[in-house]
Amino acid sequence: MNITIENQDDRSLITISGNIDEAGAEDMKKVFTTLDLTKIKLVVVDLSGVETMGSSAIGKLLLFYKHLAENQGKLRIEKLSAQLYELFGELKLDTLFAISRR
């Protein structure tokens, strides 16, 4: 799994490639904790390179969303595979933050 961050003013783009297993979820959490949520107003997570992610990764994503929202920030998940888009919809994550398919 590979994670890159691009910060620009009050926005961050996080690009993840590779499947996100339990160890990857911990790596993802570490990256999230490096962001200064008091300054960032929008985080876009590009999952175009991810085909599968485990429940642990989804849990870390929700925890990050919670911390971001507490600081009046927004989260957007982009370029989901059809499988992940369906899963996020079933879990009603689209009611918490914006999601889009590839």
Distance separating alpha carbons of residues 81 and 101, to the nearest angstrom:
6
Domain boundaries, the chain: 2-101
Q: Which CATH class is domain 2-101?
A: alpha beta
Instruction: Note the pLDDT tens digit of each residue in 12-35.
Output: 999 999 999 999 999 999 999 999
Sequence-ordered alpha helix ranges (H) in 11-95: 22-33, 55-70, 82-90
Counting other chains too, the contacts that 58-65 makes at CB distance below 8 Å and 24 or more residues apart are 58/91, 58/93, 59/25, 60/25, 60/26, 60/28, 60/29, 60/32, 61/28, 62/93, 62/96, 63/29, 64/29, 64/32, 65/96, 65/97
Whether pTM > 0.85 for this model: the answer is yes
Q: Judge whether residue 102 has pLDDT over 90.
A: no
Mean pLDDT of the 63-82 span: 96
pLDDT at site 33: 93
